[in-house]
A and B are shown apart, each in its own frame.
Chain A
Amino acid sequence: MSHTWKSLRASFLRLAGVLRKPQRDAEFIAELESHLQLHIEDNLRAGMTPEAARRDALIKLGGIEQTKERYRDRRSLPVLEALLHDWRFGFRMLLKSPGSTGAVVIALALGIGASTAMFTVVRSVLLKPLPFKDPTHLIRLYEQSPDDKFPYNNVAGGIFKAWKNQSHGFSDLAIYSNGAEYNLSGASGQLPEKTRATERMAQ
Chain B
Amino acid sequence: MSDKADVWQGTLALMILKTLETLGPLHGYGIARRIEQTSGDLLSLNYGTLYPALLKLEQEGCIESEWGVSDNNRKAKYYKLTRAGRKQLERETRDWQQAQTILAKFQSATEPST
The residues of A with any CB-CB pair to B shorter than 8 Å are 2, 6-7, 9-10, 13-14, 28, 30-32, 34-35, 37-39, 41-42, 60-63, 66-67, 70-71, 73-75
Contact = CB atoms under 8 A, between A and B. Distances in A.
A13 B65 CA distance: 15
B53 to A, nearest CB: 8
Contacts of A14: 59
Interface stretch (B4-12, B14-22, B43-51, B102-110): B43-51
B47 A70 contact: no
B60 A7 contact: yes
A28 B52 CA distance: 11
Interface in B21-70: 27-30, 33, 46-49, 51-52, 55-56, 59-62, 70
B75 interface: yes
B95 to A, nearest CB: 12
A63 B60 CA distance: 26
B55 A67 contact: no
Nearest to B30: A38
Contacts of A74: 52, 55-56
Given A35-B27, A38-B27, 7 more contacts: A28-B51, A32-B51, A35-B28, A35-B29, A37-B74, A66-B48, A71-B51
B76 interface: yes
B2 interface: no
Interface of B: 27-30, 33, 46-49, 51-52, 55-56, 59-62, 70, 72, 74-77, 84, 87-88
B59 A34 contact: no
Contacts of B30: 38
B55 A71 contact: yes
Nearest to B52: A74
A26 to B, nearest CB: 13
21 contacts: A6-B84, A6-B88, A14-B59, A31-B76, A32-B51, A34-B27, A34-B74, A34-B76, A35-B28, A35-B29, A37-B74, A38-B29, A41-B72, A41-B74, A60-B46, A61-B46, A61-B47, A61-B48, A62-B46, A66-B48, A71-B55
